[in-house]
A = this chain, B = another copy of it.
């Protein structure tokens, strides 16, 4: 079964829907490759224009600036996770199992269909780990928040919180635990890769370290 996932991303994020044209898709594809490769700070529309074989001005017709483009990618990820959550939780009744699946979704590389994808999922996951907090750690967070650009993040957070509440109705910090789990999944993964002294990774537990830590943390919190 072939299918491509398209999520309707908030219209305030783009000037022109990049999913609506070949050039738009090309811009998205290459921005993911380029941000992954050189990092968000070094990433510019000029460099993107070169690799996407288009012009700066053409890119500006899709996105106001590179921050919005990053926000688009991160939003796509949040929507994707939300979708995968529903998908993978379907028909699972065991509450503990449900939470384990959630934590795997947060920490593992993104599940990918076998066939060639428009979106490089591994790259997106690494971008989310290293760059996602930059979309809200900005001075105009309150302003852009009014346009509901963080809605998918909040919905994902709420959905996970609901499963936590379902597991233990007495627990009062379900949403904070949810946002903490999401952020910790990124932080710890980044630390494991770049600053391992901030973690307890070692050669033995290297595999799935972030998951193992998170599972321990979350289930104890919910106990």
Contact = CB atoms under 8 A, between A and B. Distances in A.
Interface in A99-143: 130-131, 133-134, 136-139, 141-142
Q: Give the number of times this chain occurs in the complex, counting copies.
A: 2
A223 interface: yes
A191 B137 CA distance: 10
A61 to B, nearest CB: 24
Given A150-B195, A216-B221, A217-B180, A134 B137 contact: yes
A179 B213 CA distance: 12
B183 A137 contact: no
Contact of A199 (B179, B188, B197, B223): B179
Interface residues of A, number: 47
Given A173-B217, A174-B200, 14 more contacts: A42-B139, A142-B194, A145-B195, A150-B195, A153-B198, A154-B195, A154-B197, A154-B198, A172-B200, A175-B200, A179-B187, A183-B184, A216-B221, A217-B221
A145 B198 contact: no
